[in-house]
Structure 1
């Protein structure tokens, strides 16, 4: 109980500004922008915050040295954008990306995501251990046939019974936490898309999503070529449930009301 209480209290440090900076720098690989990069980002950022009616100086712009098209809302006051997005996106599309990340901050998603990730670490660790044990047990069951399968079912059944009877099923609940957090994250992404679209950036955001989708398709084609032309294995239903972002078609579908021209009366 003492360990659990200490773990819960430790989440307070996430609201500490120096801790925010350390997380952005060490875990997310972000850095402060150079004067030239700041001159590129700040005019676009001012337009976004002016449309949103928020004070832009309440947030910090950071840069990630990456050739991927991406951005991130870190902790409660940091908006990070990759060097590729900063240098290759036109102003409108860059503004749409920044407006999306601002939506995470305005909606409180950045705080909740970071806290959820921190508090879910035990669940993620337990899930990895369970998956590793499951793989070993599956190999053992194939060697020993029915006896091995019975052994695996007996072990998992004993674990489930022990957690329910002695710990009120809390360890089993911990295993479900990553799936719950992934579902919340997907909903937060759609809300952030809606925030950017409501500010007038829907067409630009749709263009960015198309760019990202084309990049993913190109990578899949390259991977398939390296695989001898054989189709890649489709992700399982469980792995899809662990995805932190909705699929491309879902995001575009949710943007459609903002992309349609206003009806004439």
Structure 2
């Protein structure tokens, strides 16, 4: 019949409706592949790194004295081999297998899973592309921590982030965190601090041994007689004076080192922040720092207050 048309009993298909993409986070960045221009000099030692090494110099010289004495007692005429071997151990912080052991055993890091790497790698590529640095020169690691927003740069090639930072931050803020850690590597902060700490270990171990023996000796002397205690205390005082004069006051400089290192550490953090900001991540970095400050304040508020002891006079 004219005008009646066909009736098949089926509902006509609706045209496809356009889908509205989910709005991107304000700190989302594009990680599309682009041409990368690498800098000729991708690393250097800035003033902060050199300052850290300078502060550790008294530790190093004291450790050199300790290692020389131990090598002389153990090896005799071949003591120089022990000293040379100890000096060469500092190169291990740039040795990739040694770094992997350091990351796993001391820092508690692990390799990222395939899913974690698929999220982390494009962001890292974007950060290193902006910095003009070869991304393959560094190894990405994961810290299993779902509560803290944190990251780490260590040794010569380690860059690690917590699972919290990886899974909770938008990719722009994650890039800011990675750019901050890259700043520590580019400026030489990571290897300088680790190298100084490593070469300070013999002096620190010797100090702990001497301190332990001195405390034991004083307690034994005090147990037997006051006169014996005074004699031992006088002997230890003369030994300390002889050590200070022989080493030209280096132990006194070691006592002041923690305060100087704290100041240099704050300067290193500022330098790393400036590096991230220079790469275009200033707003993202500010947001991350604000979140970290808020988390610190919340932790302080949740910490239990000390309960006063009613039996103790106020």
- Shorter-chain TM-score above 0.5: yes
**Alignment map for 1:1-265 (pairs within 5 Å):** 1=68, 2=79, 5-67=84-146, 68-125=148-205, 158=238, 160-225=240-305, 227-228=306-307
User: Does the CA-based 8 Å contact 1:122-1:174 persist in structure 2?
Assistant: no
The structural deviation recorded for 1:89 is: 1.0
Which structure would you say has the larger RCO, counting Cα contacts within 8 Å and 6 or more residues apart? 2
State the structure with more CA Rg: 2
Q: Which has the higher helix share?
A: 1
- Per-residue deviation, residues 190-245 of structure 1 (Å, max 9, x unmatched): 111110011111111111111111111122122244x249xxxxxxxxxxxxxxxx
Q: 1:166 to 1:204 in 2, by over 3 A?
A: same
What is the alpha-carbon distance in structure 2 between the residues aligned to residue 53 and residue 36 of structure 1? 26
Return 5+ residue gaps in structure 2 as ranges: 1-67, 69-78, 217-229, 309-314
Aligned residues: 225
User: Does the CA-based 8 Å contact 2:109-2:141 persist in structure 1?
Assistant: yes
The structural deviation recorded for 1:43 is: 1.4
User: Does the CA-based 8 Å contact 2:173-2:287 persist in structure 1?
Assistant: yes
- Per-residue deviation, residues 34-64 of structure 1 (Å, max 9, x unmatched): 0000011011111111111111122111101
TM-score, scaled to structure 2? 0.61
The structural deviation recorded for 1:155 is: 7.8
TM-score, scaled to structure 1? 0.71
Secondary structure at the residue paired with 1:81?
strand
Q: 1:105 to 1:58 in 2, by over 3 A?
A: same
